[in-house]
A and B are shown apart, each in its own frame.
Chain A
């Protein structure tokens, strides 16, 4: 238990150091762009596949729940709400958390055990602004971008199922999507995604930085980063859901 609180303190210290490092964003622009490409564009294929099936399954479940209560033309509304508010941001974060969290932890962990991080320090290059800040900034900006694609593909996945399995015309489905669309749903989902992205970058960096030993240590750090990212995403989801959907602004 004591160790857990120690880790919480260390994560908070890393976050504060990263925020201080934001002053050097212009200096590390190239690194941030490279990370945005790797974390965001690199994750797109996997996210698109997951989102397509998520939308499809949501359409099937929505149709099942509507049967006997409401006309099936509301399938589009339900898919749109579920995907934009919850499934798009959360499933994207879990998928990206697995892929990116592990990649960051493994990369930084390898740099730690091969003394590359020590070498950076000896060159008077502070490692947190140089290594951690670009990854956290990139993940924070790119997860909402990737989530937009996930939302779009998820809604289209639902459309495919509505059309192929329930003989619903695309026009009917899209009308239902449009009629119940609220921009707040989209913005809230994307706000959540930004927080999820930041937490994935933070966890990957934290576990990568404290890697010890050789290959075994790197593997352990990658696993810990994924587990911590996923737990943090789910916990943040609950907190943010209360803030974004229960508090009137």
Chain B
């Protein structure tokens, strides 16, 4: 199996009587940003949840940082989750806590660092996403774009090697989407973070991707660079890129 951050082979997940993942083969290389495209319900988020151990595969195999995690126990996952983090679609911020507490939570539980150090890291992460003055606010006081940025700040607090983004620009206006896209790029450039980004947004995909993969009917149908996507003739990929609802929808 190829060495890399993620290596999935024949990954199968059955949900509601349907093979949402029907044999996914995908490699993610260190330092790259891979964008995973696919229609709603195609299993993109389900794949991400397998990468971070929120779901277990029914068949197939998945490796993370070269370690087989297909049947990993909670202890193994808790060790690995120091190096992999996820940015959720709607932020998934803890609404009973302030923004600062949201970011500090993982640090308090994982590092045992002194409080001053934790607060400094919280400020650093919020500064990175451009929300330095929001530490005392509750998530309910933030806009959708700000919530996503706080979600990113929380995800990078523990300095992960791998970041998983679930629809980071969905529901955002074009300007805020661009802010998020630049942030994803900056994380790769400045911190060397490897990223897997699930999205429908082709603009965003072209902007941030080193490689783009298309998930269709439970399998990876296409993998290539943004330039290869632009000239690809695969009808399903063309349909997705051009956003047409004519045949062949798959």
Contact = CB atoms under 8 A, between A and B. Distances in A.
Interface of A: 111, 114-116, 118-126
Interface stretch (B102-110, B168-176, B187-195): B102-110
Contact of A122 (B54, B79, B89, B94): B54
9 contacts: A119-B86, A119-B88, A119-B94, A119-B154, A121-B77, A122-B52, A122-B54, A122-B86, A124-B79
Interface in B64-120: 74, 77-79, 81-82, 84-86, 88-90, 92-95, 105-106, 109-110
Contact of A125 (B54, B93, B105): B105
Given A121-B53, A124-B82, A124-B109, 19 more contacts: A114-B95, A115-B89, A116-B92, A116-B93, A116-B94, A116-B95, A118-B49, A119-B86, A119-B88, A122-B54, A122-B81, A122-B86, A123-B85, A123-B105, A123-B110, A123-B154, A124-B77, A125-B109, A126-B74
A201 B172 CA distance: 39
B147 to A, nearest CB: 11
Contacts of A121: 53-54, 77, 81
A125 B88 contact: no
B125 to A, nearest CB: 13
Given A123-B81, A124-B106, A125-B106, A115 B94 contact: no
Most central of A111, A114, A124 by chain B CB within 10 Å? A124
A190 to B, nearest CB: 31
A119 B85 CA distance: 9
Interface residues of B, number: 26
Nearest to A123: B106
A18 to B, nearest CB: 15
A119 B109 CA distance: 14
A125 B53 CA distance: 13
A186 B110 CA distance: 44
Contacts of A116: 92-95
Given A122-B54, A122-B85, A124-B78, A114 B110 contact: no
Nearest to A115: B92
A116 B54 CA distance: 12
- Which 8 pairs show the lowest CB-CB distances between chains A and B? A123-B106, A119-B92, A115-B92, A124-B81, A124-B78, A122-B86, A115-B88, A125-B109
Contacts of B52: 122
Contacts of B93: 116, 119
A121 B88 CA distance: 12
A141 B60 CA distance: 47
Contact of B90 (A111, A114, A123, A124): A114
Contacts of A118: 49, 54, 86, 88, 92
Nearest to A126: B74
Nearest to B157: A123
Nearest to B158: A123
Contacts of B74: 126
Contacts of A114: 90, 92, 95
Contacts of B106: 123-125
A113 to B, nearest CB: 10
Contacts of B110: 123-124
Contacts of A124: 77-79, 81-82, 106, 109-110
